[in-house]
Amino acid sequence: MAEAAGAVDPESLARGLTLLLDGGLAAGVLDADPGAGEAAKQAARVLVDAGCAGDNNSGRREGQDLTAP
């Protein structure tokens, strides 16, 4: 998915998103934080935007939400 989104380094972006998912799940369970999911979604958007910024987001459609299920 990271490659299809036009990520400059798809493996690094995928790894960062995986770590974010793991941390978000842990925070939701351990902290019982109902806001953990939304915070993780916002952080994922930042990672995707940064990871796809190298070549003007080629391959990524304007407004494409890669964090949607």
For the chain, 69 residues long, give each residue's pLDDT as a single digit of tens: 888 888 999 999 999 999 999 988 888 889 888 888 889 999 999 999 999 986 544 444 445 555 555
Range of the domain at 41: 10-51
| 32 belongs to a structural domain | yes
3-state helix, strand and coil shares in percent for the chain, rounded to the nearest 5: 55, 0, 45
* Total count of domains within the chain: 1
Residue 54 pLDDT: 65
Distances (CA, A) of 37 to 1, 5, 8: 20, 22, 26
Residue 58 pLDDT: 45
| 18 belongs to a structural domain | yes
Instruction: For residue 35, report the phi and psi dihedrals to the nearest 5 degrees.
Output: -90, 0
Q: pTM score > 0.75 for this model?
A: no
